[in-house]
Amino acid sequence: MPTPSENMLFGMGNPLLDISAVVDKDFLDKFGLKPNDQILAEDRHKALFEEIVKRNKVEYHAGGSTQNSVKIAQWMLQKPHKVATFFGCIGKDRFGEILKKKAEEAHVDAHYYEQNEEPTGTCAACITGDNRSLVANLAAANCYKKEKHLDLDSNWELVKKAKVYYIAGFFLTVSPESIVKVARHASDKNKIFCMNLSAPFISQFFKEPLMKVMPYVDILFGNETEAATFAKELGFETDDIAEIAKKTQNLPKENTKRQRVVVFTQGKDDTVATVGDRVTMFPVLDIDQNDIVDTNGAGDAFVGGFLSALVQEHALEECIRAGHYAANVIIRRVGCTFPEKPDYH
């Protein structure tokens, strides 16, 4: 098995500072939020951010889906530091400084594009019971520029160093051209490019850029809701998750040396994955309902665990096992946070 080396895993996405607080149903209703959802902030949510920080128990965590996943992968691997590279855009402000510090503490090699126009992005995690409603105010994260950052020789060298690439679907709303450039590189060099459906709204409103990248996707992640929305948008005419996985696997693909792998998580139900020409179910680890503190970040953690095994070239079953372990750890804690070391063998 290859040992992980620096910059072997590359991630690019929206670096956000998570602001999480326990709220009540009235709060959700006031801002028209569903208990379990991810949306982009609109003008009517401006007051939400002002209100949530005034709550008595607010927690700040470095977040953003892709950044969470590469951070978890690094945590699972432990050594060497900086196995994961991360690109994204932040503002030159206090929240930006916090993100830089947190990335460093997590031993992720973050190279942010820093600009003055917009403040660092934030994501309000409105928690009610086991549910979390996420409202992302991308701000600076939305300002990522391919020609100002990705195309610079020193940055592109880091892209070339990687063997595994992961970009959440959320970044399709920001810089689809950056995603295509990285995805093409991976495909041309027979390296592994992974993507996530991320949220129902991506398949609904960003289907065109999503389908432009799909031919380069070697591993596609998603949860049951995202899978169902994707199937509906593509006219699959089935709501059977195994069938959706199969049809997704068979979508056109550039690099024919690798068969596409599709992995759909379903919360406490079995994870569904295409293994060769079959679709297999993988049961998740048992957990007492009372031990679940916060499901925010469970999907990101699953991907992070998976990637940590993938960079070591483990078999798919082993990658899924590592993903299940990481998700099981994360849901026992607030936000996408973790203990000092994994207890994983």
Q: Using CA atoms, how far apart are residues 140 and 117, in angstroms rounded to an integer?
A: 8
Residue 286: CB atoms within 10 A of its CB come to: 7
Taking alpha carbons only, the member of 245, 256, 177 closest to residue 216 is 256
Do residues 218 and 195 make contact, with C-beta atoms less than 8 angstroms apart? no
Query: Residue 300 catalytic?
Result: yes
Q: Which of 130, 294, 300, 343 is catalytic?
A: 300
Q: Which amino acid is at 295?
A: T
Q: How far is CA 247 from the centre of its chain?
A: 23
Residues 6+ apart with CB under 8 A from 253: 215, 216, 217, 260
Q: Using CA atoms, how far apart are residues 328 and 306, in angstroms rounded to an integer?
A: 13
| The token pair that represents 129 in the structure block | 């019971």
Catalytic residues: 300
